Every structure is written in C-alpha cells, then in structure tokens.
Copies of this chain bind each other. A is one copy, B any other.
Amino acid sequence: MNSSRTVSLADVAREAGVSPATASRALNSAYGVAAATRERVAEVARRLEYVASPEAARLATGTTRSVALVVPHLDRWYFGEMVGGLEEVLRAAGHDVLLYHVGDPEGRHAFFEHLPARRKVDAVVVVAVPVTDHERRRLELMGVTIVAAGGQDAMYPYVSIDDAAAVRQATEHLLRLGHRRIAMITAVDPDRTDQPIHRGRTRGFYEAMTRNDVPIDEELVVTTTWGGVQAAEAMEKLLSVRELPTAVLAHSDEMALGAMRTIRRAGLRVPEDISVIGIDDHPLAELVDLTTVRQPVRDQGLQAAHLLLALLRGEQPDRAQKLPTRVVVRSTTATARIDRSGAEHSAPGITRH
C-alpha cells in the first residue's frame, strides 16, 4: 500500500522537464513562469499526487502557516463553539490549527513557561483566558501575532461581546417585568479568584439598576466560580436571605440551570416564585426553555480569525470588536409576583420566543 517513496518536488520537476526552481515557482508564486509551463507542472503534480513537504517549506520560508489556539476547558460549550469558528476560517485560509489546552493552574503554568508552541506557529489566539502580566510577557517571547477571542482582554486585538451591555440587557428585562429584588450570581475564574473576571458583567448590573433607580441589596450579589453546581450552591445562599429575591440573573446558562435546581428543590417554582435568566443561549437553553441573553459565540470565533488573518497580512484592522447580544425570552422569567413598590412598567412589548 505505502510502497513507493513519497514524490518530491524534484520528481515533479524531472517529470515535467523543468528545474526544481521552476517547479516550485510554478506551484506557488503566480509570476515568473510561463503559463504553459505552469500548467504542465501542475498537471504532473496532480498526476503524481504530489504533496509538498510542509517542514521543508517552512524551513525555507521561515513561516509555519499554522496558529496556536490556547483554550481552557474544551469541555464547555462556549469554548467548543468558539474553537469551531476559529478553526473554520483559519483552515480555509490554509493554516493549520494547533490546540493547546491550559485547563488547570499547572497546565497553565507549564504552557506559559515552556511555551511549547514556540517556533511552531505564526500566531496564537488566546480563547477567553485572562492572562496575567507575567504570562503576557512570556507569550511575547514567542514573537508572534496574538489576538484574543472572547473574554475581555484589551491587551491584544480582540473580539468579544460587550459584557456590561449583556448584563444590562438581562437586568433591564427583569426590571421591565417588574422585578426589584434582583439577585446576581457572579462568576469568577477559578485560577484567578482575586479579581472578578467579568468586571464588565458586574458593572452592567450596577449600571442598569442605578439607572432605573432600583436599590441594590448587596446581600443578593453572590460570587462563585463558573459551573452549574457552584451556582446551585450559591443559590442556596440566596435562598437563606431574609427576604427572597424575585429574580436571579446568572452569568451563564449553566449557572442558571444550577440555580434553578436549587430553587425547585427548595419547593419553589420557576418562574412563578423566582424568575431566572442566564447568559449565552447555550443550545440546551432552548430545550429547557430558559430565558437568556444570547451571545454569538461562533461568530466571535469567526471574527477573531479574520482579525488575525488581517493582522498577519500586515493590515491595520480595528483592534477591538464587540459583537451584539440580545435577550431571548423563554419561560423562566415572568412578571414579578409581589409588586412591592409599584412596578411602573409591567412587561410591555415583550414577545415570546
């Protein structure tokens, strides 16, 4: 099966009656070779099923035509979707996609210290991972183009959503439904619990509330790491508050589901007793009829890849792109039951999805 040696450029050249130099030009660069010759070489190459040796080409040109994707948590929908988008356009542009998983702190440390991608890629895209200053410095050692997809690193050219706006939309949806005691389950990155990773999201909540003159009960703002079960636990804390919230806003759909489980197990109903809204529009959100604010994840991947390609071409594209989000109303949110302080607006113009 795998009998004959793989054919080399030299083979093609010989067969086509030209020099390797010409063969190379014929196959790659458009100019400097007569149309007839080019066609002949191409024909021979096709017939011989010639496939260029990428290493040789890379060695000679010094360019790898491949990019590294640095991702934590392949297992979460958000990341898979993002990677899918990136892969699509990167591959279409003829680049190879190397995957680097930096899940836990050790893996993360290993990646930034050893830089396994060094010398192997022309660019790296960090997918929603907040890099520390030190990590950033290490990354720069690679001397390649860097872009960020998702997350909120203004450090590099990036494309993401407007986190503050997303949460504002969610909050305003609840406010419109007459809710005033709104709780929020804030997510932080487990590796970087020091700072609220989605400052933007937290800010959006405060903005929407104050803008609508609704007081914020700090007791109703709880913080935990990403993940459904963590959110479920956080929700328990919220249920132990003197006066229950009438709605809760979670930083992700998974977290919203976790919260819902706790609520139901406590004998309360969603949305009759407590409304729940998530963020993401995870594919399963539709199946469980979860109200959420949709963010275009795949699009972020696509755009980030385009941004990267532009950078690689030496262009000067917009270094920051924010994609729009919008709330998708399903059935986990409803008008507030206990209107404690005269809800001005009672859910007008809200269309069901």
Contacts and interface: CB of A to CB of B under 8 A. Distances in A.
Interface of A: 1-2, 6, 49, 51-56, 58-59, 64, 66, 69, 73-77, 79-81, 83-84, 87-88, 91, 96-101, 103, 115-116, 118-120, 140-141, 143, 228-229, 232, 254, 257-258, 260-261, 283-284, 286-289, 298
A140 B74 CA distance: 29
A143 B2 CA distance: 6
Contacts of A228: 283-284, 286-287
B74 A287 contact: no
B59 A87 contact: no
B254 A287 contact: yes
7 contacts: A6-B119, A51-B115, A53-B119, A55-B64, A84-B103, A254-B283, A261-B289
A84 B74 contact: yes
Q: So how many copies of this chain end up in the complex?
A: 2
B96 A97 contact: no
Contact of A75 (B84, B103, B288): B84
A80 B76 contact: yes
Contacts of A88: 101
Contact of A1 (B69, B140, B260, B288): B140
A133 to B, nearest CB: 15
A164 B52 CA distance: 44
B119 A51 contact: yes
A229 to B, nearest CB: 7
Contacts of A2: 140, 143
B83 A99 contact: yes
B51 A55 contact: no
A91 B101 contact: yes
Contact of A77 (B53, B77, B99, B261): B77
A52 to B, nearest CB: 7
Contacts of A286: 228-229
A32 B101 CA distance: 36
Contacts of A64: 55
A257 B115 CA distance: 41
Contacts of A257: 284, 287-288
Contact of A80 (B53, B80, B87): B80
A75 B119 contact: no
Contacts of A284: 228, 254, 257, 284
